[in-house]
């Protein structure tokens, strides 16, 4: 099954466009888990079980795992294995923000798609399409290209005008016109920029969007959803990480995460 089919099914089943970001910074994990064995994956499993009927995807950012070296990579693998085993209908997005030259990308593709068995990866566009074959030829996987990122300073390069048009729009156009030859590309656009989300939705009417940055990073749900969904009120994967997974730092963290996820799921659906 392709990522797109998987996404279509789970959006329908769970009636949700919410993606929960498993950015499980070891420093922020509740103490009773942090001091036990396998803290990151134990934490993730509880979050996953508490939210699996409320989400359309899980997103793991590799940085929070790599920070711990080998032990972190093991935690990430255990997390992906757990989702595959217990909730195989939920797609896993590896937020790795990679991109290297041709032969090197094979290593990253193996890590994401074979070792971790993720369904999708995020990539930097700076090296161009020519280097990305190792990812793009994996027809069943989804390739989310950074377009307009959620950080306050995203515009330094992304808003530079090329023939009167901001660079992020050129990226979106190139992805639609040339990179998407296997129909497996998507775009990353930050929720703090709803008018840019709206512009890119017009450039790419049917591409899946991964939209991080609601909540703590300042993105408003109503604007984000209205700007991001396609003509069918779908194809926007709206991510919240810290706001959900660290809703409480006590023993009730999973219950509180479920509460936050449910609130977000409903709020998102209100504006679809």
By CB under 8 A, residue 34 contacts a copy of itself: no
Instruction: Specify the residue, 73 or 262, whose C-beta has the smaller distance to a copy of itself.
Output: 73
Burial of 126 (0-12, 13-18, 19+ CB in 10 A): exposed
User: Could you tell me how far CA 29 lies from the centroid of its own chain?
Assistant: 21
Does residue 209 belong to the site contacting a copy of itself (CB under 8 A)?
no
Binders of a copy of itself among 82-141, rule CB under 8 A? 95, 97-102, 104-108, 110-111, 115-116, 124-131
Closest CB 101 distance from a copy of itself, rounded Å: 4
Distance CA 163, CA 129 (A): 20
Active site residue 97: yes
Among 8, 34, 167, 220, binds a copy of itself (CB under 8 A): 167
Catalytic residue among 28, 77, 97, 256: 97
Under the criterion CB under 8 A, does residue 152 sit at the interface with a copy of itself?
A: yes
- Within 8 A by CB and 6+ apart from 100, the residues are 108, 127, 131
**With binding defined as CB under 8 A, does residue 32 bind a copy of itself?**
no
Angle, to 10 degrees, between the axis of helix 221-228 and the axis of helix 253-270? 50
- Judged by CB under 8 A, does residue 244 bind a copy of itself? no
Write 66-70 long-range contacts (CB < 8 A, 24+).
67/25, 67/26, 68/26, 68/40
Can residue 158 be called a binding residue for a copy of itself (CB under 8 A)? yes
Catalytic residues: 97
């Amino acid at each position: 099954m392709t990522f797109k089919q998987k996404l279509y099914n789970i959006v329908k089943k769970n009636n949700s466009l919410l993606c929960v970001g498993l950015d499980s910074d070891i420093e922020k994990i509740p103490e009773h888990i942090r001091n036990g064995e396998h803290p990151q994956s134990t934490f993730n499993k509880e979050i996953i079980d508490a939210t699996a009927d409320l989400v359309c995807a899980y997103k793991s950012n590799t940085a929070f795992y790599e920070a711990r070296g080998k032990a972190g990579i093991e935690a990430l693998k255990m997390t992906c294995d757990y989702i595959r085993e217990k909730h195989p209908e939920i797609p896993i997005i590896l937020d790795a923000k990679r991109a290297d030259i041709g032969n090197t990308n094979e290593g990253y593709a193996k890590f994401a798609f074979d070792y971790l068995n993720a369904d999708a990866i995020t990539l930097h566009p700076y090296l161009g399409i020519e280097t990305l074959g190792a990812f793009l030829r994996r027809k069943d996987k989804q390739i989310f290209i950074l377009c307009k990122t959620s950080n306050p300073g995203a515009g330094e390069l992304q808003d530079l005008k090329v023939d009167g048009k901001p660079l992020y729009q050129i990226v979106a156009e190139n992805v639609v016109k040339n990179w998407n030859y296997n129909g497996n590309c998507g775009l990353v656009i930050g929720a703090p920029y709803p008018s840019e989300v709206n512009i890119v939705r017009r450039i790419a009417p049917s591409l899946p969007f991964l939209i991080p940055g609601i909540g703590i990073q300042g993105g408003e749900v109503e604007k984000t959803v209205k700007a991001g969904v396609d003509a069918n009120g779908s194809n926007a994967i709206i991510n919240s990480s810290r706001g959900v997974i660290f809703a409480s730092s006590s023993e009730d963290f999973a219950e509180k995460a479920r509460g936050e996820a449910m609130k977000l799921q409903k709020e998102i659906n209100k504006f679809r």
